Each structure stands twice: as C-alpha cells, then as structure tokens.
Amino acid sequence: MEQGNQGIGRENRLTDPAACTMLPTHHRYDYSMIDRRPVYDWPGGKRLAFYIGTNVEYFAFGAGAGSDPAFGAAGRQTQRNYAWRDYGHRVGIWRLFDLLDELKLPAAHNLSSLMCDYRPDIVERMRARGDEIIGHGRTQSERQNTMLWEADEAHMVAEATATIEKFYGRRPYGWMGAGMSHTPATIDVLQEAGYKFLMDWCCDDQPLWMKARKGRILCVPYPLEVNDSVTLLFRQQAAGDFADMIVDQFDEMIEQCADRPLVCTIALHPMTMGQPFRLGLLAKALKHVASHPQRDRVWFTLPAKIADHCAALPAGIVP
C-alpha cells in the first residue's frame, strides 16, 4: 500500500504544473530569442565570423578516458586506440597545418597542456603560424565532471594555464573542458582564474554572457554538430557527409547573416580528418568557404578576437 501511494505521488508531481518549478536548472544565462536581439556588425562591417577549431589532445596509455575508432564512445583503453590517436600527432595534424597554410586560414587549437611536454614540435608549429591556443585541460584522459573538489579543479586549471603560458609565450584566455566537461563550479573557477571566455556550452549561433559568482564570462559558439568526432565516430557517418555539413552550414549561415551577426565554426580532430581518404574532402569543403562569392561578408578570425569585439560593444548588445 505504501509503495502504491508513493507511485501516485510521483505521477502527480510530474503532471502538476506547480511541481514542475522544482525541476533542476541553472542560473548561468537567461533565455533569449535570436530574432529579438540587437543587431551589430563584426569588424569591417562583416556579418559572419568564421573560425576553425582543432582538438589537439594528449592521452594516457591504457588508462583514463578516450574514444575508439571502432566503437566511437569511450571504451577500454588499448594500444590500438592509443596508436590511432597518436596517428593524429605523427601525421594528421601536419597535413591539417599544410592545408590551412595553403588556404591562408588561421586556426584555434583546443590544446591539452601536456602536449607542450610530450609533443613540443606541434605546439611550435602553432606558434609559428600565429594560431590561438584554447585551454583544454592537462590531458583528454581526465574529465572535469568527475568527482573533483573545487580546489582541485582550480589547481588543474592553473597548472594547465601555466604550462601553456611558459611554453607558448602567452597564456590562453579561452577554455574548453576535456570532453566539454564541467563541474557545477567550472564557470566560476575559470572566470576567477582570468579566463575571458569558454566554448563548451553549444547553445547559440551568437556569443552570450554567462553569469559567474564574481562577474561574467563570455560563451563563444562552438559546434557540437559540425564536429568531425561526433559525425564520424559517434554517429558513424561518412567523411563525405561531414564535408557536406561544412558546406551546407556555411552556405545557410552566409545567407542568414544578412539579418544578424553569426558565428560559424568547424571542429576538427587530427586523427580523423587528417586521414588521407578524408583530407581531400575536407580540402574541397574549406576551399568552398575560402573562395565563396559572398566572402566579403565573412570575418575569418579566432575566438579571442570574437570575445574582444563583444566585450567592447555597448552594454546590452550581447545578451
């Protein structure tokens, strides 16, 4: 009898509108409809900000988290999936660098700080290109949504930041958690550590301000959809599908940006799109972007420049 009453109570709570206010939520940003916001321009009167974000990550051998080329989702860590990821360091990223050089496109790199210790040649190439580094934790093998005390998370952020600053010559001001992971305090920890923006709340095509306990921090758009890892590994789609997504996303957004400023981003991982049979498809898609007849609307840029521009706009323009 007691169990039956408990069941009825749960059902009533689900159907009672007043009870729905108890649903867990967050207080980090307010709801805002994109067609009711102030309109502004990017520098030079541009309307579409475009940037490429790569994920250059270091993994533990046989331990921790990590994707698998056969199974997609994180699974048991073996020498096979470690070697597949290392292909991105040994081969894939260098092919991506050459392609970006050919097209004269800048890039932002979500970088595990341990890359500075274990793969310094890659980080040197980023610096030589003048690319932007985004803090991405120490290693992709650990996640911020595990049971981290706030002090431990703050220590991890500080350590990763200091390592990158020491090696790269300047600190990162943008952050993406490993695996886009967060604890309840991550936004506060990042803002108090001097970060100006984060990129792992994929909720909009425009930047937005997020609330922190001691101020605010900008959220710069980053794609969960136009993302080679999600497309190829988790959804098991073909490389041609991903290349078509790049073209279709860009073509649609370059039309929509006539009405309001937008951010178009492509997310790449060197062990996936750096494979020879995929590289040509990626090159074709990026050449379409770089030579588009309406490219005069496009600001080929980096996340930090987007953040700086938004921070300089009058109050109330960016939601």
For residue 319, pLDDT beyond 60: yes
- The total number of structural domains in the chain stands at 1
Q: Is residue 161 part of a domain?
A: yes
For residue 5, pLDDT beyond 70: no
For residue 188, pLDDT beyond 80: yes
Rounded to two decimals, the pTM is 0.91
Which pLDDT belongs to residue 2?
38
Q: Is residue 27 part of a domain?
A: no
SS3 category, 167: helix
Q: Is residue 13 part of a domain?
A: no
Which pLDDT belongs to residue 192?
98
- The CA distance from 197 to 187, in Å, is 9
Structure confidence by residue, pLDDT tens digits, 234-266: 888 999 999 999 999 999 999 999 999 999 999
Structure confidence by residue, pLDDT tens digits, 171-182: 999 999 998 899
Q: Is residue 15 part of a domain?
A: no
Output DSSP code: residue 39: P
Structure confidence by residue, pLDDT tens digits, 109-161: 999 999 999 999 999 999 999 999 999 999 988 887 766 899 999 999 999 99
Domain of residue 258, CATH code? 3.20.20.370
Would you place residue 18 in the very low, low, confident or very high pLDDT band (cuts 50, 70, 90)?
Answer: low
Numbers of helices and strands, H then E, in the chain: 12, 9
Q: Is residue 242 part of a domain?
A: yes
Q: Is residue 23 part of a domain?
A: no
Q: Give the residue-averaged pLDDT of 188-199.
A: 98
Q: Give the residue-averaged pLDDT of 81-90.
A: 94
- The CA distance from 111 to 176, in Å, is 9
Residue 53, beta-bridge partner list? 108, 267
Q: The domain containing residue 289 runs over which residues? A: 34-312
Which pLDDT belongs to residue 64?
82
Structure confidence by residue, pLDDT tens digits, 292-313: 999 999 999 999 999 999 999 9
Which pLDDT belongs to residue 17?
56
Residue 185's Cα: distance from chain center in Å?
Answer: 19
Q: Label residues 178-201 b or e (16+ Cβ within 10 Å = b).
A: bbbbbbebbbbbbbbbebbbbbbb
Q: Is residue 222 part of a domain?
A: yes
Q: Give the residue-averaged pLDDT of 224-231.
A: 95
Q: Is residue 209 part of a domain?
A: yes
